[in-house]
Amino acid sequence: MRAIRIHTTGGPEVLCYEDVPTPEPGPGQVRVKVTATGLNYIEMYHRTGLYPQPLPFTPGGEFAGTVDALGPEVSGFALGERVATASGVGGYAEYALAPADKLVAVPEGVDLHLAAAVMLQGMTAHYLAYSTYPLKAGETCLIHAAAGGVGLLLTQIASRLGARVIGTVGSPEKAELARAAGASEVIFYRNEPVAPRVRELTDGRGVDVVYDSVGQDTWEGSLDSLRSRGMMVTFGNSSGPVPAVSPLVLSGKGSLFLTRPTLGHYIATPEDLAWRAGDLFGWIVAGALSVRVDRRFPMSDAADAHIALQGRATAGKVLLVP
């Protein structure tokens, strides 16, 4: 089969498209014939070595397709069944493996490209709004990168829960997308400081929670946008890692709460996985959740896809297609 391999860490140029053996599923694993693979920032960190991986390796944990082979001790899935995962192995390929207990069936009403686009970012948005800081009607949240993959989904979910959304964006085009998803106000982060504008929009109070996937560039402004005893949720590093922080900073800015969640801990049980994926698929079928696929790249052009994502040239999800 054909796959992307990384033999040494570095820039997008280290993504090599080559022939490799088709993987065999081990105990508890399912082999999936990949229809589409979702591109995520964690693969940038794997590629650069920020999150080290054993070399060489094929990146990609989020994909959808059809069951091609079952490993030992696997039950509950049939050959040819439509499935998706956010916890797979080697998704930048024609065939990839997934733990059976992290694989979900995709309803017939959900296109497999949309399933690949919504698993990681959709379940991230779900746990942020329902579990990390459970939003309530009437509360106000600040969502950075509101026109990004997670941002558009989180904005829709937060609005669905009755929360007021203030989103940050980088262009008028992205502002329109954020507003269409439910953002009440948008802030052009390149043109004005975020925190003073947030204070103005909230009559000086600040927001109840900040959902921040950007990291280094937005860190200070995020903390300064919170109300007393508000929660800072930092869940990504698209601009670089957040600097080291003293707990005294949190007390000085209003006895703030700080958390750095990751999806794996929020889908650790079959019940949580089924809840989050089931809600997403149900909303898609009902037309209550719009999943925006910004563009699709051939698997062989994975380097171009990485460049587009890192350059903040996308609005919504990027897919790789074998």
Write out pLDDT tens, residues 122-161. Answer: 999 999 999 999 999 999 999 999 998 899 999 999 999 9
> Which CATH class, in words, describes the domain spanning 2-119+269-321?
alpha beta
Alpha helices (H) in 161-301, listed in sequence order? 172-181, 194-201, 219-223, 247-252, 270-286
CA atoms within 13 A on the CB side of 229: 0
Residue 90 phi/psi, 5° resolution?
Answer: 75, 45
pLDDT for res 314: 77
pLDDT for res 244: 87
Write out pLDDT tens, residues 1-57. Answer: 999 999 999 999 999 999 999 999 999 999 999 999 999 989 998 999 988 999 999
Write out pLDDT tens, residues 56-114. Answer: 999 999 999 999 999 999 999 999 999 999 999 999 999 999 999 999 999 999 999 99
> What distance in Å separates the CA atoms of residue 254 and residue 281, rounded to the nearest whole number?
39
Q: What is the CATH number of domain 136-260?
A: 3.40.50.720
Contact 234, 242 (CB under 8 A): yes
> What distance in Å separates the CA atoms of residue 302 and residue 305, rounded to the nearest whole number?
5
DSSP 97-109: EEEGGGEEEPPTT
This model's pTM is above 0.75? yes
**Domains of the chain: which residue ranges?**
2-119+269-321, 136-260
